[in-house]
Structures are given as structure tokens and as C-alpha cells.
């Protein structure tokens, strides 16, 4: 039974882990850049707003690129307070104030010769790395409301958007979707970007019993996915997401 499910999911990974996947996915936005710093910066912001209508996400991703003058790294390094006050941006509950905070926080990082990769260096597990990343990022002055846009696994969040961003940055294969730019996190330690859709598919496949889509559910499903591929368990995100989009189980 397990072997049959693994074969089925491997087939779906092969089907969806393909450059055609990029076209309608938020990862399309960072794929417009080749410089590592540009990919990291725009990738993190677009991952942060990646909820809701996918067309709206991509449209707002294009607006972000325009705001940053098609050069996210240079914009972050050189943005003045006047520049940030002039920003007009809204995606659902994420607004200009939130975007201004992310740009200030990243300016703190990149102006010191560091990068977002360095911000995830502290911790043995992905859980610890995300918690420590959040603490460092929020050390920059910010409005309380902005904190909801930086997920906190310590509060039980499955941190879907941060885990998706980490998949983009860390996974290395020859399929042309994920970037594989980072080396400080191993693929085997990545966590699934768990949301309502991948959670529902996982339950239908018998990979998940827990009803909530929280960090405990994420740990439960990762036990199963690591049985299928210990070195690259998060590749099954393509299968679970693809099955949800194709509505194969409805």
C-alpha cells in the first residue's frame, strides 16, 4: 500500500515539477531575476503575500517589481524614508506600511554585507531557524500589525509561506522550478508548505490524521513524506499541490 502510494506521488511529482508549473505560480516573480540577492528579496516578499487569488498575487508581484525599479537589491540598499513613504501597495491585509518594514529590515541585513540566507543560519532544525529568523527580522522597528505577516511556529503556525520560500531557495534538482541557491539548509530538513489544500489532499491519501493545519500536523505529515524520500521529502509538495489544483479527488 505504501509502495503504491509512493509510486503514485512520485508520478505526480514528475508531472508537476516542471517549468510549465512556473507560469501560474508565485515563483514566477523571482524567476524574472538572475542575481541571487534580487531572487531572495523579491522571492521572500512575494512568498509573504502568496495567499488568495493567484492572478492577484502575480499582478501584485509585478507591482512590487515596478516599485523596486526592476532591481530589488539596489532598491533595498538605497531606499530612503521618503521613498518608503511614497509607496502605494496593498495585497489583502498586507499594505504599504508592511512593505516598508520588510524593505527597512532587509536594508539592515544587506547593508552589512549579509543576506536572507544568513538570517536562517541559527538553529539545528527548520523550526528553530524560522523562529530565530522571525526574532531577528522583527528586531527592526515595526508596527505591531506587521507581525502577523511573519509566521511563528512557536505559536503553532505551520508557516506555510516561509516554508515555501525555503523550498524555493534550498531545493536542488534539474527541473528548473526551485532555485537551489542556498547551502546552509539541507533538503532533507525542509518542511512542507502546508495549507488547507495540501492538508485536505494529505488527509484523503491517509498521510495526515490531525484536523488542524498547524505545526504539529506538519510534523505528522513529514514523518510520512520522509519515508518516501528521506533526502528530498518536500518534493512531494508538487504532487499534493498539483492534486489539489487538478481537483482529482473531488
**If you ran DSSP here, which 8-state letter would residue 240 be given?**
H
State the DSSP string of 116-150.
HHHHT-S-SSHHHHHHHHHHHHTTS---GGGGGGS
Give the domain extent around 49: 2-246
Q: Average of pLDDT values for 105-115?
A: 95
Strand partners, 39: none
d(CA 181, CA 69): 23
State the pLDDT at residue 40.
Answer: 97
Measuring CA to CA, how many Å separate 107 from each of 75, 142, 235?
9, 14, 32
CA distances from 135 to 110, 142, 164, 229 (A): 17, 12, 19, 31
**Per-residue pLDDT tens over the stretch 37-92:** 999 999 999 999 998 888 999 999 999 999 999 999 999 999 999 989 889 998 99
pLDDT band at residue 141 under the 50/70/90 scheme: confident
Phi, psi of 91 (to 5 degrees): -135, 105
What pLDDT, in 10s, does the model give residues 113-133?
Answer: 999 999 999 999 999 999 999
Whole-prediction pTM value?
A: 0.95
Q: Cβ distance 137 to 155 under 8 Å? A: no
Q: List Cα–Cα distances, 244 to 16, 165, 195, 240, in angstroms.
A: 12, 20, 11, 6
What is the C-alpha radius of gyration for the chain, rounded to an integer number of angstroms? 18
Write the CA distances from 67 to 79, 86, 96, 99, 236, integer angstroms.
11, 10, 11, 11, 34
Residues 6+ apart with CB under 8 A from 53: none
Q: What is the pLDDT of residue 248?
A: 65
Task: Give the per-residue pLDDT at 244.
Answer: 83
pLDDT value of position 53:
86
pLDDT value, residue 1? 61
Q: Please tell me the distance from the alpha carbon of residue 40 to that of residue 72, in angstroms, as a whole number.
A: 9
**Per-residue confidence (pLDDT) for residue 169, from 0 to 100:** 98
Tell me the backbone φ, ψ of residue 116, rounded to 5 degrees: -60, -30
Top-confidence residue, 179 or 51: 179
Query: CB 184: neighbour CB atoms within 10 A?
Result: 12
CB 209 within 8 A of CB 227: no
Structural domains counted in the chain? 1
Distance CA 204, CA 207 (A): 8
Amino acid at each position: 500500500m505504501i509502495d503504491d502510494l509512493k509510486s503514485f506521488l512520485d508520478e505526480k511529482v514528475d508531472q508537476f515539477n516542471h517549468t510549465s508549473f512556473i507560469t501560474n505560480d508565485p515563483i514566477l516573480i523571482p524567476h524574472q531575476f538572475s542575481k541571487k540577492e534580487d531572487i531572495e528579496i523579491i522571492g521572500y516578499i512575494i512568498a509573504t503575500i502568496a495567499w488568495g487569488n493567484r492572478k492577484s498575487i502575480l499582478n501584485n508581484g509585478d507591482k512590487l517589481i515596478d516599485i523596486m525599479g526592476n532591481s530589488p537589491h539596489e532598491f533595498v540598499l538605497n531606499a530612503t524614508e521618503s521613498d518608503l513613504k511614497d509607496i502605494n501597495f496593498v495585497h489583502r491585509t498586507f499594505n504599504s506600511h508592511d512593505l516598508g518594514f520588510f524593505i527597512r529590515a532587509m536594508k539592515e541585513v544587506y547593508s552589512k554585507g549579509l543576506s536572507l540566507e544568513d538570517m536562517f543560519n541559527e538553529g539545528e532544525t527548520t523550526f528553530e531557524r524560522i523562529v530565530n529568523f522571525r526574532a531577528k527580522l522583527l528586531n527592526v522597528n515595526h508596527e505591531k500589525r506587521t507581525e502577523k505577516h511573519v509566521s511563528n511556529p512557536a505559536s503553532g503556525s505551520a508557516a506555510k509561506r516561509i516554508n515555501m520560500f525555503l523550498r524555493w531557495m534550498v531545493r536542488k534538482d534539474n527541473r528548473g522550478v526551485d532555485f537551489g541557491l542556498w547551502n546552509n539548509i539541507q533538503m532533507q530538513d525542509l518542511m512542507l508548505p502546508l495549507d488547507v489544500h495540501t492538508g485536505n489532499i494529505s488527509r484523503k491519501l491517509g498521510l495526515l490524521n490531525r484536523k488542524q493545519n498547524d505545526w504539529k500536523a506538519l510534523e505528522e505529515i513529514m514523518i510520512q513524506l520522509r519515508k518516501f524520500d528521506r533526502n528530498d521529502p518536500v518534493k512531494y509538495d508538487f504532487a499534493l499541490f498539483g492534486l489539489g489544483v487538478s481537483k482529482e479527488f473531488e
